[in-house]
Amino acid sequence: MSTGVSIEGERESGRDVRDDNVRAALSVANIVRSSLGPQGLDKMIVDDIGEVTITNDGATILKKLEVEHPTANLLVQLAQLQDA
């Protein structure tokens, strides 16, 4: 019985998806990790038009990121909600 809904692209499940989500979460964590704490380092972020931002604020760093992975994007949104 067809529902009439077409799913385009590949459908993944199981261990591969979990591993991919863990890698995405670790990537986000690694980006902000060195900016945390009393000896946190500044990050220099250059956007598409060449505007430079220097900050050690995790929320600002995450706001300037262009995240494509759904899990990483969810983590960025959660961090922004906590900062609001």
Q: Is the pLDDT of residue 11 over 90?
A: no
* Domain assignment of residue 40, yes or no: yes
Whether residue 1 has pLDDT greater than 60: no
Domain count, the chain: 1
Cα distances (Å, whole numbers) of residue 8 to 17, 27, 50, 74? 17, 27, 35, 22
Render pLDDT for 47-82 as a digit per residue (tens, 0 to 9): 999 999 999 998 889 988 889 999 999 999 998 888
Domain of residue 75: give its range. 15-83
In a domain, 69, yes or no: yes
Q: Is residue 78 part of a domain?
A: yes
Residue-wise pLDDT tens digits, 17-51 = 899 999 999 999 999 999 998 999 999 999 999 99
